[in-house]
Chain A
């Protein structure tokens, strides 16, 4: 697989969705934690995150090769093989998501989906910040959703930190720049 070539590693849809997710997730998270008690803007940010997750999952089936789940989600054998070489002090030169990173991609999409659902069904009983789907389910479910929403936000923060730490590890330890391709679409030659 070419690594230094001018070929496109990440297509524009993947890149736009990635950075849109960065912005909308940061907005939703920040507003949820520190925002006003009337959480209208948090809701809009959450809907944006939801749209991004839905689009990314669809793109994972119909997008170009590096965007497709089928091309990067690997079995435990491939994951372990890759993980064994993770400490090597050289670039991985993976074309697309590596098998370990793939676990993170699927994991973060799943946790985001759970977080979106828990927000949609949560009812904090303040009459103004009620999830739009809460009215269709029992109060047992709205309370479960409510009690999941905050712990999941902490889990997502941890995942974001782990993601950034991994990027830093590749840059410093393995000498591999993963940020530029996510901006320009191409690896530096």
Chain B
């Protein structure tokens, strides 16, 4: 009986350690939450652009403004070292090349930011103005995902 209890205890220690989150895991989680929120707002605009929901200027402006607000966050800490897919398999799809070529990665971010400014200006100006602006922002999503994000965990 004592043996059973002892081995259960020994088995429980690494299991408990695995449950505790490292700082890196917290970072990856925050980063994904950031993109989840960006995606949530973008999804609302894309649904309008694709006619899945009716266009509404106020709602569109709010979505775009929220995306702009999100990009004002200090995102540097979301990209702390040691938080790539290789470091945290299963927790993130961020490829190590982000940290190896931070300049190229930041260029993708700047392209996104520029397209987002156009989207923000166009969002309230009718569906015909919204659609190409959504397309352009989506294109910058894709361009970055192509190079810097793994297709699967």
Cα A37 to Cα B139 in complex, Å, equals: 5
Chain A interface mostly? loop
Q: Does B142 contact A (CB under 8 A)?
A: yes
Determine which of A38, A128, A129, A144 lies in contact with B152 in the assembled complex, contact meaning CB atoms within 8 Å.
A144
Write the nearest CB–CB distance from A117 to chain B, whole angstroms.
15
Determine which of B45, B46, B139, B150 lies in contact with A36 in the assembled complex, contact meaning CB atoms within 8 Å.
B139
Cβ of A126 and Cβ of B151 under 8 Å apart? Answer: no
Which A residues from 26 to 67 make CB contacts under 8 A with B?
36-39
20 contacts between A and B (CB under 8 A): A37-B140, A38-B135, A38-B136, A39-B142, A124-B141, A125-B39, A125-B141, A126-B139, A127-B43, A127-B134, A127-B138, A128-B46, A128-B135, A128-B138, A128-B139, A143-B151, A146-B151, A147-B150, A147-B152, A150-B151
Cα A35 to Cα B142 in complex, Å, equals: 12
Find chain B residues with CB under 8 A from A147 CB. 150-152
- Chain A interface (Cβ < 8 Å from any Cβ of B): 36-39, 124-129, 143-144, 146-147, 149-150
Find chain B residues with CB under 8 A from A124 CB. 141-142, 145
Write the nearest CB–CB distance from B91 to chain A, whole angstroms.
14
Identify the closest chain A residue to B131 (Cβ).
A128
For this complex, into which size category does the number of interface residues on chain B fall? 20 to 34
Find chain A residues with CB under 8 A from B139 CB. 36-38, 126, 128
Find chain B residues with CB under 8 A from A144 CB. 152
Cβ of B134 and Cβ of A128 under 8 Å apart? Answer: yes
Cβ of B142 and Cβ of A126 under 8 Å apart? Answer: yes
Cα A181 to Cα B140 in complex, Å, equals: 46
Cβ of A126 and Cβ of B145 under 8 Å apart? Answer: yes
Given contacts A38-B139, A128-B46, 5 further A-B contacts (CB under 8 A): A125-B141, A126-B145, A128-B138, A128-B141, A129-B142
Find chain B residues with CB under 8 A from A38 CB. 135-136, 138-139
Write the nearest CB–CB distance from A124 to chain B, whole angstroms.
6
Q: Does B97 contact A (CB under 8 A)?
A: no
Determine which of A37, A127, A143 lies in contact with B153 in the assembled complex, contact meaning CB atoms within 8 Å.
A143
Determine which of B42, B143, B150, B152 lies in contact with A127 in the assembled complex, contact meaning CB atoms within 8 Å.
B42
Write the nearest CB–CB distance from B71 to chain A, whole angstroms.
16
Identify the closest chain A residue to B52 (Cβ).
A135
